[in-house]
Structure 1
Amino acid sequence: MTSIAAAANENLADISNVLIYSAMAVYTLAFVAHIAEWAFGSRSRVATSSAALTASAAAPAVKVQVQRAGGTTVLERPAVVTKPGPGARDAADGPGAAGGDVQGDMYGRIAVSLTTLAFLLHLGSVVTRGLSVERAPWGNMYEFSTTFSMVIVGVYLAFLAARKHIRWIGLPLVATVLLDLGLAVTALYTESAQLVPALDSVWLWIHVSLAITCGALLYLGAVATILYLFRDRYEAKLADPAGPQPGNFARSVLSRLPAAASLDKFAYRINAAVFPFWTFTIVAGAIWAENAWGRYWGWDPKEVWSFITWVAYACYLHARATAGWKGRKAAYLAITAFLCFLFNYYAVNLLFGGLHSYAGV
């Protein structure tokens, strides 16, 4: 561990800044490519899932024969159409769930290639930022934000490399990464510098890196949950031919997503897998607090909201496992839990004081 008095390497810090702006430029190109994939790649398969849902929803009419003196009269009894729940629709995944059609796949490959290039530039920025002061590059909110968004993209690309078909998450992911980086370089930017003694610990590597990784995975679960809500409403309208039907924009976009049941399952698995690691993150923070301040827990605002986030996700998982909550009610719980995480991430540092305010922004 280097001395706290050591000066920052300004050349490496400047390189880090150039790389982060370069990454933002390439992310912007990836964003445009993703939009092209959704706009042009969906035209040839707009009705893929809607046709399947409509066919399953419209039951055939029942013919009844009535014997009369003059012959047999065939009466047609109207079919009874019911509204199946999210898990009972058996809707097929849209083409975007498996890579889209040929034209959409071309734009999608370009988008993924640009996202990969942007990630490498982003990674270079984070690494050079850390090398400029020879410490972990997440000692303040600017560094946490840039590292957080980098890990989000890294996890997404790792899923794709493992042949998990989650390219449908690429557009909202790149859009939010751009927003996060824009906020980081404008409102949260801090000059590269050494840290206060409280952060001069191996727990900086353990506790904060775990928080970043858990947050990145919880983000994927939250995006899948939000998309689930849109897709679920879309399927519900298609399953009710007598009611209002989705507009052309909804059909061209939402028809490409995985089925609502698939999105719900993906989000649940992500949240359930991350929860034990988030629990250990809080425990690691308590151990670090005892080493730095002489107590494990002091109800500091950051500690309180970390615990609130833990409780929110625990309620979500408990409701899914015991109360049988699935569908929209569980989705609202999951989104509330992630909003608690974001509040702890941004608002607590900016609006509240406490021992965790040592690094400023």
Structure 2
Amino acid sequence: MPIDETIAGYSDLAFESAFAVYLLAFVLLIWQYAGARTKQAEARELVAAGGVASPTSAVPGRVVEAPRKPWSERLGNMAYAVLIVGVALHVGSIVLRGFATHRFPLGNMYEFVTMATAAAMVVGLVFLRGQRYRSMWVFLIVPVMVLMFLAATVLYADAAPVVPALRSYWLPIHVTIVSTGSGIFLVSGIASLLFLLRLRQPEGEEHGRIGAIARRLPDARTLDRLAYKTTIIGFPLFGAGVILGAIWAEAAWGRFWGWDPKETMSFITWVVYAAYLHARATSGWRDTRAAWINVAGFTAMLFNLFIINMVVSGLHSYAGLN
């Protein structure tokens, strides 16, 4: 069937609008992050006030107005609402791309990165809902926007039919699972990086440049648990994607595994994340060492996504780039 250029144009417009909305949310999040008070600052204010409520608050018959939420909290709530709109546009761009091409929209690097970043944002909406996680959005939305910018410029491909090798029912199964797992690993990797940053700023200390950045983050244990929980979800998904890819390879190329660069790097990435989960459960490794292994897995995933697809030649060279 011919490509519907009108719907394809709407898809691109939704993608660009999502990027613009994320940019607005980023500005609000930066504002909120800069104005957020730390627990230590709030404790000092309470001590300075004597640590007691105003006597007039207990007078019978007096109507006491509820305290207004601080600006930082209100900005955080606004940013979260804006993020929901951005994610809706982001997902909408994927759906419209599928309608425009009459296929599942995962046939090139542009579409893969769009799906992976959308998955990361959806996971973020699920796991980073509470007030204590709001400060993390500043650090999650930056790599998402960088990846989206690269997708819209360097990796962009016009809506078109896929190459014959990808015309298979395995495309939506295999690539959807892998891209979703990659998006989840993005959240996990950011959480581990922030965990390592938070460890350099112990609770109760707020000095130095690192302290100025880290003191508004959730505590280190919360960040570590977030990295672990998201990896627990992403690891079996990514592993299932690798296995299903091997089954597709047998149907397409007559062998399950041929140590193609993409296959090899995907397997290495999976092993690194398996090492992280093992380290996370091993005494003496579950803190800093495990976090560094998770960061290594995140790096391997990015290497597999960009370097292997764009630089190394192999059977999986379907980037859609000239």
Q: TM-score, normalised by structure 2?
A: 0.86
> Superposed, which structure 2 residues align to 1:211-250 within 5 Å?
211-235=178-202, 238=205, 246-247=207-208, 249-250=209-210
Q: Which of the numbers 310, 313, 323 marks the counterpart of 2:273?
A: 313
Report the equivalent of 1:204. 171
Report the equivalent of 1:270. 230
Matched-pair contact (CA < 8 Å) for 1:136–1:204: yes
Matched-pair contact (CA < 8 Å) for 1:46–1:251: no
More off after superposition, 228-237 vs 342-351: 228-237
Q: CA deviation at 1:246?
A: 2.1
Q: Does 1:28 align with 2:34?
A: no
Q: CA deviation at 1:277?
A: 2.1
> Superposed, which structure 2 residues align to 1:15-94 within 5 Å?
15-42=10-37, 45=39, 47=41
Measured in 2, the distance between the counterparts of 1:356 and 1:328 equals 35
Q: CA deviation at 1:250?
A: 4.2
Matched-pair contact (CA < 8 Å) for 2:11–2:93: yes
Q: Does 1:146 align with 2:122?
A: no
Q: Which ranges in structure 2 are unaligned for 5 or more consecutive residues?
A: 46-68
Measured in 1, the distance between the counterparts of 2:4 and 2:223 equals 45
Measured in 1, the distance between the counterparts of 2:13 and 2:234 equals 33
> Superposed, which structure 2 residues align to 1:183-198 within 5 Å?
183-198=150-165
Amino acid at match of 1:41: A
Q: CA deviation at 1:294?
A: 1.1
Give 3-state SS (helix, strand or coil) of 1:166's partner: helix
Q: CA deviation at 1:291?
A: 1.1
Task: Identify if the C-alpha distance between structure 1 residues 236 and 154 changes in structure 2 by more than 3 Å, giving closer, same or farther.
Answer: closer
Q: CA deviation at 1:28?
A: 0.8
Q: CA deviation at 1:41?
A: 2.4
Report the equivalent of 2:148. 181
Measured in 1, the distance between the counterparts of 2:25 and 2:96 equals 23
- CA deviations 1:254-307 (Å, max 9, x no partner) are 222111122112212221332222221110000011111111111111000000
- CA deviations 1:51-80 (Å, max 9, x no partner) are 9xxxxxxxxxxxxxxxxxxxxxxxxxxxxx
Q: Does 1:285 align with 2:245?
A: yes
- CA deviations 1:220-251 (Å, max 9, x no partner) are 1111111111111100783xxxxxx722x544
Q: CA deviation at 1:341?
A: 0.6
Q: TM-score, normalised by structure 1?
A: 0.77
Give 3-state SS (helix, strand or coil) of 1:326's partner: coil
Matched-pair contact (CA < 8 Å) for 1:33–1:111: yes
Q: CA deviation at 1:252?
A: 4.4
Task: Identify if the C-alpha distance between structure 1 residues 50 and 180 changes in structure 2 by more than 3 Å, giving closer, same or farther.
Answer: farther
Amino acid at match of 2:219: A
Task: Identify if the C-alpha distance between structure 1 residues 50 and 352 changes in structure 2 by more than 3 Å, giving closer, same or farther.
Answer: farther
Q: Does 1:168 align with 2:135?
A: yes
Q: For the aligned residues, what is the CA RMSD?
A: 2.2
Q: CA deviation at 1:23?
A: 1.3
Q: Does 1:114 align with 2:82?
A: yes
Matched-pair contact (CA < 8 Å) for 1:46–1:256: no
Measured in 2, the distance between the counterparts of 1:260 and 1:16 equals 39
Measured in 1, the distance between the counterparts of 2:230 and 2:19 equals 27
Measured in 2, the distance between the counterparts of 1:278 and 1:302 equals 14
The structure with higher relative contact order (CA 8 Å, sep 6+) is: 1
Task: Identify if the C-alpha distance between structure 1 residues 358 and 261 changes in structure 2 by more than 3 Å, giving closer, same or farther.
Answer: closer
Matched-pair contact (CA < 8 Å) for 2:21–2:86: yes
Matched-pair contact (CA < 8 Å) for 1:10–1:132: yes
Measured in 1, the distance between the counterparts of 2:282 and 2:40 equals 38
Q: CA deviation at 1:49?
A: 8.4
Count matched residues: 298
Give 3-state SS (helix, strand or coil) of 1:234's partner: coil
Aligned structure 1 segments of 4 or more residues deviating by more than 4 angstroms: 48-51, 249-252
Q: Percent identity?
A: 41
Amino acid at match of 2:80: V
